[in-house]
């Protein structure tokens, strides 16, 4: 019996630990994609500035409120603009950023096709 | 003919690179978030500094009245500089000044006000800095002008004489 009880206790404590770790993983995932505005060039996850620490608390709060990752990004985007995100979506300011690599790739491909394949 | 074309294009590419780098030399890399105006004010409830009462934002901000929300802290040096401006504005009865005490020690905040005067009608407490993020602020001092529950103006950094005149024009 004793063995059984201690087994249950260990099992329970392990599951609680897991729960906690999952929450942190989600928070870390989100804060890695948010830019710290005080120490620019660092993500909120990496930074230990006052602002970044408050952001981490707020991300936790929003997760507790049941907001999804996307909703949290939208929330911060409304407050601070696109710049707060490391991975901004496509809009009229960023379409060049997204399309340029594809265009360059296609252009390069066309040159290769023209000079190496069609020449033969 | 072909080698000349190559030469020109190389020169052109270098020229473009030079212009891009030269221009970005002068640009600052510090980004300040775009000032978004006409945003609704956030809904929150928080503790007051002096009376320790809990108050919600709807009890603080009434419609059809001008409010100035100032984020400050006793440890913030620029806040000291802008304090006389706030004292000046507090004499204007068309404007209600609300303070937000940012990540501060209550005792220090109170002695700051004892020393320099208290321009605020109410002071809300932002212990962990999350409240100011809800407002879209990222440091101290920052000032918001609010009318009809909307942010109509936002100033990042300390207020000065020029901004004092601007604010007085807005609330006229």
Bridge partners of B151?
B39, B146
* Residue B70: burial class (beta carbons within 10 Å; 0-12, 13-18, 19+): buried
Q: Is B133 at the interface with chain A, CB within 8 A?
A: yes
pLDDT at position A21: 56
Residue A15 maps to which CATH number? 1.10.8.640
Structure ipTM: 0.74
d(CA B109, CA A57): 23
- A18 and A37 part of one domain: yes
- A84 and A99 part of one domain: no
Q: Is residue B1 part of a domain?
A: no
- A42 and A6 part of one domain: yes
Task: Report the residue from A40, A50, A78 with minimal CB separation from B129.
Answer: A50
Which domain does B83 fall in, by range? Answer: 39-170
Residues 27-46 of A with CB under 8 A from B: 37-38, 40
CA nearest neighbour of B98 among B138, B162, B44: B44
d(CA A73, CA A63): 12
Residue A110 is classified by DSSP as H
Number of domains in chain B: 1
What pLDDT digit, counting tens, does each position of B70-91 carry? Answer: 999 999 999 999 999 999 999 9
Q: Is residue B4 part of a domain?
A: no
- A113 and A60 part of one domain: no
User: Coil, strand, or helix at residue B9?
Assistant: helix
Residue B153 token pair: 């103006």
Number of domains in chain A: 2
d(CA B50, CA B98): 13
In order along its 120 residues, chain A shows pLDDT tens digits of: 888 888 888 877 776 655 555 668 888 889 999 998 888 788 999 999 888 999 999 999 999 999 899 999 998 988 888 888 888 777 777 788 888 899 999 999 999 998 888 776
User: Coil, strand, or helix at residue A31?
Assistant: helix
- A99 and A84 part of one domain: no
Q: Is A59 at the interface with chain B, CB within 8 A?
A: no
């Amino acid at each position: 019996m004793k063995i059984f009880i201690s087994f249950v206790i260990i099992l329970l404590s392990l599951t609680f630990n897991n729960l906690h770790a999952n929450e942190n993983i989600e928070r870390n995932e989100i804060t890695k994609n948010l830019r710290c505005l005080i120490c620019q060039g660092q993500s909120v996850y990496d930074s230990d500035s006052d602002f970044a620490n408050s952001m981490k608390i707020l991300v936790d709060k929003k997760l507790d409120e049941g907001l999804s990752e996307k909703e949290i990004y939208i929330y911060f985007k409304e407050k601070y603009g696109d710049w707060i995100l490391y991975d901004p979506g496509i809009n009229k300011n960023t379409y060049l950023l997204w399309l340029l690599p594809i265009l360059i790739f296609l252009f390069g491909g066309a040159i290769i096709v023209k000079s190496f394949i069609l020449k033969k | 003919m072909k080698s000349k074309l190559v030469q020109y294009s190389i020169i052109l590419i270098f020229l473009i690179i030079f212009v891009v780098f030269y221009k970005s030399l002068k640009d600052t890399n510090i980004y300040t978030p775009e000032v978004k105006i006409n945003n609704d004010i956030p809904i929150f409830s928080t503790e007051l500094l002096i009376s320790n009462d809990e108050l919600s934002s709807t009890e603080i901000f009434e419609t059809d009245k001008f409010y100035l929300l100032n984020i400050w802290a006793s440890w913030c040096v620029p806040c000291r500089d802008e304090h006389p401006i706030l004292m000046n504005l507090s004499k204007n009865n068309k404007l209600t000044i609300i303070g937000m005490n940012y990540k501060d020690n209550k005792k220090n905040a109170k002695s700051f006000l004892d020393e320099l005067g208290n321009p605020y009608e109410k002071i809300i407490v932002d212990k962990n800095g999350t409240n100011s993020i809800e407002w879209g602020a990222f440091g101290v001092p920052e000032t918001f002008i609010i009318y009809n529950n909307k942010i109509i103006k936002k100033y990042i950094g300390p207020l000065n004489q020029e901004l004092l005149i601007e604010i007085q024009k807005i609330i006229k």
